[in-house]
Amino acid sequence: MPGEKSPGELNATQGSLLGFLFDGPKTGWDLLHEIEGGLSRFWNVTPSHVYRELRTLQDRRLVTAGRTGVRDRRPFTITAAGKKAFKQWIAQEPGPEQIRNPLLITLWFGRHLDEGTLAKFLDSNRKVHAERLRHYTGITAGDEHTGAVLAFGIAYEKAVIAWIDDLTSSPRTAPVGAGTRHG
Amino acid sequence: MPGEKSPGELNATQGSLLGFLFDGPKTGWDLLHEIEGGLSRFWNVTPSHVYRELRTLQDRRLVTAGRTGVRDRRPFTITAAGKKAFKQWIAQEPGPEQIRNPLLITLWFGRHLDEGTLAKFLDSNRKVHAERLRHYTGITAGDEHTGAVLAFGIAYEKAVIAWIDDLTSSPRTAPVGAGTRHG
DNA sequence: ATCTTGACATTCCCTTCTGGAAGGTGGACC
DNA sequence: GGTCCACCTTCCAGAAGGGAATGTCAAGAT
């Protein structure tokens, strides 16, 4: 009956795998590392997940598995149907973003903590973001679009760092949410 | 043997539920809506998840369920052990944040899309963030700490909006990642 | 007084995601 | 030619997510 979920629907992980395969055959390992080097910050994947989705894609004839090579390396090639499915998927409105930030939970319940502990958490968090920012600024994007993703990462890290600096410089005086940055 | 996962460990959802229960008994529904009105943006929870975790907390004697009232309403009360567990949990270093942003996947593979489609996606995304920013600025935080969380939200939305504006104002000329803002 | 409607509150089930252990393989170095 | 280690994939168990299904009461309509 109509209204059922189409069996051809792709989730975002499947879509991105097809996207990476668009340029040529790759193994699960290759995909894993290609994602790791860029997109993984904004769409995390694990090995088991990638291999599982590859199997699903294979079952749906959107990719074909090549002969197992050295060390069980098995290259997957996108099929014509796979390319078509990808093109359809990429043209759909992307779903809502999701942020899971344990630091903000801790902060939310900050009244149960002493100031020192909270300050320590903020500081170690700042270090993480500063390091990532440093990392990003050393990268050259492949093209305009991956560059835009990189720019998002940079803007995000900067915003977080500025937010932490604002918090820690005026921990209990200034009204929160006022003027988060100014040159 | 030592090193095993302690059975008393809480995950972030359980910790936050205990945190909300700290101030008095609440039902799953109450908790759901209390989270919805603030923290949910940075730590999403679903009904099934909340009720499941409440059951787990109950099994561990960290909360007790009151008598079922009208419409199956069942208030949960935090126990002394629950308070202790919460205090321990909140004092731990918060885990790493995670972002899942489908828009960035779409953007990453932007070369497979025509400019109009991409611009449309960015624009509708901008609307979402602008609306959220507008919403946040109308809120008064309960205390300093929830205010800091709110400030994060504001800083984040502003950064995303600025990023989108930067992208769409110079879609193919400026080197991406360079100078994302300047007063 | 009974019926209808709709918001409320929880449960259930299926899919997606995570994490780590297990296992087989080939290259490099001795 | 033996030993070791990095490589590559599979497997499994469990956590989390999304949303439909179920049942319940309140309030207004008849």
The verdict on pTM exceeding 0.75 is yes
The tokens for B93 are 């270093």
Q: Could you give the residue ranges of the DSSP H alpha helices within B80-114? A: 80-90, 102-108
Contact A103 B110 (CB under 8 A): no
- Least confident stretch, A131-140, B66-75, B168-177: B168-177
Amino acid letter, B114: D
Whether the CB of A98 is less than 7 Å away from nucleic strand C comes out as no
- Least confident stretch, A114-128, A140-154, B42-56, B168-182: B168-182
The phi, psi pair for A127, rounded to 5°, reads: -60, -45
Q: How many CB atoms lie within 10 A of CB B128?
A: 15
pLDDT at A62 over 90: yes
Which nucleotides on chain D have any atom < 7 A from a protein Cβ?
6-13, 15-20, 23-26
Cβ burial of B44 (10 Å; 0-12, 13-18, 19+) is: middle
* Sign of the dihedral through C-alpha A99, A101, A107, A109: positive
The Cα B91–Cα B75 span in angstroms is: 26
Amino acid letter, A14: Q
- What is the rounded average pLDDT of the residues B72-101? 92
Confidence of residue B8 (pLDDT cuts 50, 70, 90): low
Partners of A164 on chain B (C-beta within 8 Å) are: none
Protein-to-nucleotide distance from the CA of B31 to the C1' of D2, whole angstroms = 63
Q: How many residues does chain B have?
A: 183
Contact B151 A167 (CB under 8 A): yes
pLDDT at B50 over 70: yes
Q: Could you give the residue ranges of the DSSP H alpha helices within A9-112? A: 12-21, 28-36, 47-59, 80-90, 102-108
Whether the CB of A44 is less than 7 Å away from nucleic strand C comes out as yes
Contact A110 B141 (CB under 8 A): no
Residues 6+ apart with CB under 8 A from B145: A107, A108, A109, A110, A111
**Which among B109, B83, B97, B122 has a CA at the least distance from the CA of B42?**
B97
What pLDDT sits at residue B103?
A: 95
Distances (CA, A) of B29 to B38, B42, B46, B73, B158: 15, 19, 11, 8, 32
Whether the CB of B99 is less than 7 Å away from nucleic strand D comes out as no
Which residue of B93, B105, B163 is in closest CB contact with A151? B163
The Cα A129–Cα A111 span in angstroms is: 24
The tokens for B161 are 């909006």
- Least confident stretch, A31-35, B31-35, B91-95, B167-171: B167-171
* Domain boundary assignment for chain B: 12-90, 102-169
What pLDDT sits at residue B179?
A: 42
Note whether B122 and B167 are within 8 A (CB): yes
What pLDDT sits at residue A174?
A: 47
pLDDT at A44 over 50: yes
Whether the CB of A171 is less than 7 Å away from nucleic strand C comes out as no
The Cα A154–Cα A137 span in angstroms is: 7
pLDDT digits (tens, 9 = 90+) for A106-160: 999 999 999 899 999 999 999 999 999 999 998 888 889 999 999 999 999 999 9
pLDDT at A80 over 90: yes
- What is the rounded average pLDDT of the residues A162-177? 72
Contact B144 A110 (CB under 8 A): yes
Q: How many CB atoms lie within 10 A of CB B25?
A: 15
What pLDDT sits at residue B102?
A: 94
pLDDT at B181 over 50: no
Contact A102 B162 (CB under 8 A): no
CATH class of A12-90: mainly alpha
Which nucleotide's C1' atom has the smallest distance to the CA of B54? C10
Protein-to-nucleotide distance from the CA of A52 to the C1' of D11, whole angstroms = 11
